[in-house]
Amino acid sequence: MNKLDALRYFCVASETLNFRETAVRLSVSPQVVSRTIAELENTLGEPLFKRNTRNVQLTEFGQQFLVEARQFLNEEARLFSFAKTNQQAIQGTVRITLPPLPNHTQILADLLQAIAPYPNLAIDWRVDLTSLKAVDNQIDMGIRICQKPEPDWITHHLATVEEKIVASPALIEKLGMPADLTDLAKRYPLAAMFNALQGRIWQWQINAEHTITPPAPKFISNDMASELQATLSGQVCSQLLGMFCQPYLDSGELVELFPDIPKQPWQIYLYRPYQTVTPLRIVKVFELLREVLSKRWDFQRGWA
């Protein structure tokens, strides 16, 4: 059994859930697909698919193994892409999505400098709080703040971050330190982020047990940098990611409220959707962007 071919057959079969269609895609016979999958299952000692006369489904083990198989094939493609770089022009458009981040324009500047040796590359750069979909919006890669990655992502973990409840010293002096979260929601003017997909504001997700829905927000935005400015002005109290507000906490321009309350952790990933065949331009730009983010950016403190 060729193990690389077996992994490729398995990944395609997991997409189609039909061995005959898998065979058509791979230009082999259905018997070859069935035999290869059976050999792979025998090697692993676990079934990958549940089969009956009507359908094929991944087993729980198969779902877990799929993530590892995709990561492995991605790494194999990345390694061999270096050999192809000098043989094949890297060209075409790469579409990248990311939320508004501190100094995201500098991230772009660093990436554009990194791709300078590839004049036939074009970058489609989408800065949007709304999570754009890979298929609907034809996104090739992105940066996402979430609790866990999607199962079809190839990922590079950038950081674990938390949101902090912050206010200016002037606002605290004016209103007094809030006794608890309920007191905060009642007496303090609060800011809120707007959820464009649902047409309403986001809740403050403090942790699994505590949330706040600002009852009458004094400031609403879809941009955390703008919310930061409203907070610095002393007009509102906000819940902000640490990478936005940490420099101002260090300087004393902002004060963190309730630092002892456990906060919901968020993960920041650089990701790209898994594809059976990944264009070289996407592999290259993904690696360059990973290097830019890993070398230059501190997602805890909000600056390079």
Question: For the chain, first and last CA: distance in Å?
Answer: 48
| CATH architecture, domain 161-265 | 3-Layer(aba) Sandwich (3.40)
φ/ψ of 302, rounded to 5, equals 90, 15
Check pLDDT > 90 for residue 148.
Answer: no
Amino acid 303: pLDDT: 53
* Amino acid letter, residue 262: P
Residue 304: per-residue pLDDT: 53
Residue limits of CATH 3.40.190.290 in the chain: 161-265
Comparing 114-128, 183-197, 261-275, 290-304, the range with the smallest average pLDDT is: 290-304
Question: Which pLDDT does position 95 carry in this prediction?
Answer: 95
Residue 135: which pLDDT band, with cuts at 50, 70 and 90? Answer: very low
CATH 3.40.190.10 positions along the chain are: 90-157+266-296
Give the amino acid at 229.
Answer: Q
Segment (H or E) for 249: helix 242-251
Tens-digit pLDDT profile for residues 14-40: 888 888 888 887 888 889 999 999 999
> Average of pLDDT values for 106-112?
94
What is the length of the chain? 304
- Is pLDDT at 83 greater than 70 in this prediction? no
Tell whether the model's pLDDT for residue 87 goes beyond 50. Answer: no
> In this structure, which CATH number among 3.65.10.10, 3.40.630.40, 1.10.10.10, 3.90.1200.10 belongs to the domain 3-84?
1.10.10.10
pLDDT of residue 26: 82
Mean pLDDT over 63-71 rounds to 90
| Residue 297: how many other CB atoms lie within 10 Å | 23
Which CA distances in Å does 278 have to 112, 123, 140, 281? 21, 17, 10, 8
Q: Which residue has the higher pLDDT, 80 or 235?
A: 235
The CATH number of 90-157+266-296 is which of 3.40.190.10, 3.40.50.300, 3.90.70.10, 1.10.3720.10?
3.40.190.10
Range scoring the smallest mean pLDDT among 69-83, 86-100, 140-154, 212-226: 69-83
Contact in structure between 184 and 212 (CB atoms under 8 Å): yes
pLDDT of residue 104: 87
CATH 1.10.10.10 placement within the chain: 3-84
Helix (H) or strand (E) holding 154, with range, is strand 153-167
Q: What percent of the chain has pLDDT over 70?
A: 90
